[in-house]
Structure 1
Amino acid sequence: MKTLRFVASVSFGKDSLAMLHLLLEQRRSLDEVVFYDTGAEFDCIYRERDRILPLLEERHIKYTELHPAEPFFYQMFAHPVHSRKTGGVHKHGYGWCGGSCRWGTTYKNLAIAKHLRGYQEKVVQYVGIAADEKNRIGDKCYPLLDYNMTERECLAYCYEQGHEWLEDGVRLYDVLDRVSCWCCRNKNRKELKAIHDNLPRYWERLEALEAVLGNMKGKPLNEVVSCS
């Protein structure tokens, strides 16, 4: 019979970080924490990661950081994309990530799955899905559901643990619904306006991407935020 290996997938956003603290607090089995670094995270994600690493080392929990085989922005701008009909290259770069083309999420899931397949043991994968996101559950282990923790409760719990996700003096969860990649196409108008108003250096990056990739939301970003 295979032994079990317990692995937590942690993005260092509020839900997965709340899950990690909960696992440690309840002293549930945990052998490894896996973080997939897209290369397009807000800077504060790395700071929150760095706050956790000494705690993992103290508990003798392995930390693994995965990265895309190709840099995120190479995939966005230059990766050869082949046509399903002809097999030939019909464009370079996947473009904006999000909506119906969540290529970044696909690469993330593939990379984590490949990493976990490398173990001889049977892997129990912890995933931080909150109680009010049950429509997203699959065949993994969801500790937040066991404790019926909502997204709001996860955020409050993380604040109690000292996490803030500060960017230029702004707590990101005060202005954004989700702290995903800063250039995620799934950001709504309210979030884009919040970036425009509170995080000018990220707004400048979005405008630079738009100059090459075209409109993120079907119209220029400045029009999107002006009618929010």
Structure 2
Amino acid sequence: MAFYASVSFGKDSLAMLLLLLEKKMPLDEVIFYNSEMEFQAIYDIRDRIRPVLEQRGVRFTEVRPDASFLYNMLERPVNSKKNGFHLGYGWCGGPCRWGTKLKTRSLDGVALDAEVHYVGIAADEPERLAKLEPPKCSPLAEAGMTETDCLAFCYERGFFWEENGVRLYDILDRVSCWCCKNKNRKELKAIYQFLPEYWEKLKELQAQIPMPMKPFSRKGIPYGNVFDLEKVFEQEVREERSAVPPKKKRRCCEQSR
């Protein structure tokens, strides 16, 4: 009987793994799919956990795609009915979640002989839970742990996903791949403001991808690519700063006290 756990080292899957270890539940192998496009904080937590698994006698397997993420994104020859021949799948997300398909296929391929395959789906994700079929199961749902519970559980145990002096879960809804097209406008603005190194990487990708990363409109004006977003975010941040009232100067008598 083989017990596997798919762990991305985000808040839910890490909480699941910590729960399994603390409850001493059966666990033979942890599988991590390395897309090569994760936030550095994910890799830092992976590196903290690996010695713990080794001490417990749990195998750790890191899976990578057959071709690099950037090759699939920018260079792979693609001939689709909708867009004809072009190079690269482009942004991953929305209706074109090619990266997710590669991840799921790779993880399931490693766990072919699984009697039990633990996955990190929280109790308040009913749609995802409804799709689970044996041997996959959710220890988090069985424990009644919501996504909020999972984050608190990890924080209590000293895992914070910090980069550039910022806790990523303070500014992002999900710490998924930094180039994921599913990131909402709020998350993209947070990356622009607080994680400039990743914003520069997004601009480098957008310069090579014709399709916009996140189309939206502002005051009736359509925007879409990362460069358009940068102009909008720059203006918004400027307006926000100017709207903050200046600090009042203390009166002389107060200063002399």
TM-score by length of 1: 0.92
Change in CA separation of 1:204 and 1:115 when aligned onto 2, cut-off 3 Å: same
Q: Give the match for residue 29 of structure 2.
A: 32
Distance 1:135-1:162 versus aligned 2 partners, 3 A rule: same
Structure 2 residue 127 is the aligned partner of structure 1 residue 135: yes
In 1, the alpha carbon distance for the partners of 2:32 and 2:121 equals 16
Asked if the contact 1:33/1:61 (under 8 Å) is kept, the reply is yes
Map 1:198-209 → 2, pairs under 5 A: 198-209=194-205
Q: 1:67 aligns with which of 64, 67, 92?
A: 64
Does structure 2 retain, via aligned residues, the 8 Å contact 1:42–1:181? yes
Give CA deviations for 1:76-114 in whole Å, capped at 9, x if unaligned.
0001113359xxx71110000000000000000111122
For residue 118 of structure 2, the aligned residue among 116, 123, 126 is 126
Aligned to 1:113: 108
Figure out how many residues of one structure are paired with residues of the other and give that number: 219
Q: Distance in 1 between matches of 2:17 and 2:51?
A: 14
Gaps of 5+ in 2: 216-223, 238-257
Q: Deviations over 1:154-204 (max 9, x none)?
A: 001001111111111111001000000000000001000100110000011
**2:177 aligned partner:** 181
Tell me the amino acid that sits aligned with residue 111 of structure 2.
L
Kept after mapping to 2: 8 A contact 1:35/1:64:
yes
Match of residue 168, structure 1, among 161, 164, 169: 164
Q: Structure 1 stretches of 5 or more lacking a match?
A: none
1:222 aligns to what? 230
Larger RCO, structures 1/2 (Cα 8 Å, 6+ apart)? 1
Structure 2 residue 39 is the aligned partner of structure 1 residue 47 = no
1:224 to 1:143, Cα distance in 2 relative to 1, 3 A? farther
Q: Give yes or no for the alignment of 1:7 onto 2:8.
A: no
Q: What fraction of aligned residue pairs are identical, expressed as a percent?
A: 56
- Of 81, 89, 94, which aligns to 1:94? 89
Q: What is the distance in 2 between the residues matched to 1:123 and 1:70?
A: 29
| Cα 1:56–1:94 shift into 2, 3 Å | same
Change (3 A) 1:189 1:174: same
Q: Look up the equivalent residue of 2:145 and give its one-letter code.
A: M
In 2, Cα distance between equivalents of 1:63 and 1:108: 16
TM-score scaled to structure 2, two decimals?
Answer: 0.82
Give 1 or 2 for the bigger CA radius of gyration: 2
